[in-house]
Amino acid sequence: MGLVRSLCSFIVFLSCLIAVYGQSTRIGFYSTTCPNAETIVRTTVTSHFGSDPRIAPGLLRMHFHDCFVQGCDGSVLLAGPNSERTAGANTNLRGFEVIDDAKTQLEVACPGVVSCADILTLAARDSVALTQGQRWEVPTGRRDGRVSLATNVNNLPSPSDPLAIQQRKFSAFRLTTRDLVALVGGHTIGTAACGFFTNRIFNSTGNTADPTMDQTFVPTLQRLCPQNGDGSARVDLDNGSGNTFDTSFFNNLSRGRGILQSDHVLWTNPTTKSIVQEFMASSSNFNVQFARSMVKMSNIGVKTGRSGEIRRVCSAVN
C-alpha cells in the first residue's frame, strides 16, 4: 500500500511540476495522433535489449547527456562534424541505432508526429524498467532542436567533480541535491572506463592512491584495470549488480566501493550521506524519487509548440 500511495502522490506531482515549469508536455500527448507511439518505442528497446543488455544504461546515459546540453531536445542525436556526438564526453555514447530503429517504425505508423527527443526520453524510461527498475509515466510533447555543437558540451558532470561542483551543475537546471543523489543512483546499471578512475587505484609507485577505498576491493580493480593499460577497459559501476536497477549501488558506496570519485563523495559528505542511507534502507523511496527526478530532468529546456521541429530522421535536421 505504501508504494501505491507513493505512486498516486507521484501523479499529482507530475501535474504540479508541469504547472511550475510552464511546459506544455503532458502524459498521453500522442494518445490521438499516434496512439501506439509508446508501445513501438518499448517494443524496439526490448528487442535491442534482448540482443545486448548493455543498451539499457547506454540509453539512460544518452538521455542525461542530451538534457544537460541545451535541454532535452534530441540535439545529442544529430550527426556531423563538430556536433555534440563528437565531443569527448560523448564519444562512448551507445544506443543511437535503437533510437533510429524506433524512429523508422514511427515514421511508418505516424509520419511527422513523434519527436526524436520524446523517443529518447521514453527509451530511457523503458531501459530502467527492463533492468528491473520501476516504470513511470512520461510527459511527452517535446520537439527536436536544430542546433548541435560540441562546444556546448561543457556542463556535463565529470567523474572527478567534487560535490560542490556537482551541486552547482545540477542546481543550474533547478535540480536539487536530492535529485542529484537519485539520478547518480542510475549508476546502478552500466560501466565506466578504467581511465576515469585509475588515479584512485594506483599512485606513482603502483600502490593504492586512495586510502578511503575498500582496500580488499582495490586488487580486483587493479587486475581489471592494469596500470600500463590504455584505460579503455570497462568496469561495472555497481560491483556485483551491474545489470540490475536496484539499491546495491548505494550499499557499495557505504562500503568504500564507489568506483568514480564523484560517486564516492556522496557517502563522505554528511548532506548527501543521509540521502544515500535513506535510499539504502528503502528501495521504494529510491524508485519513486528516481522517477520524480527523471521527470524533472526530462523537462529541462524542452521545445514545444512552434519551437524546434519533428525530425524525419533523428541524426539530421529536416
Give the residue numbers annotated as catalytic, written as ranges: 65
* Residue 54 cell numbers, joined: 548493455
User: Regarding beta strands 191-193 and 234-236, do their DSSP bridges make them parallel or antiparallel, or are they unpaired?
Assistant: antiparallel
Is residue 58 a contact partner of residue 95, using CB atoms and an 8 Å limit?
yes
Q: Is 148 in contact with 78 (CB distance < 8 Å)?
A: yes
- Crossing angle for the helix pair 270-281 and 261-268, nearest 10 degrees? 90
Give dist(CA 244, CA 260) in Å, integer. 19
State the Cα–Cα distance between residues 10 and 292, nearest whole angstrom. Answer: 7
Q: Which helix (H) or strand (E) holds 193?
A: strand 191-193
Q: In the structure grid, which three cell numbers stand for residue 184, read together? A: 547518480
Find the length of the chain. Answer: 318
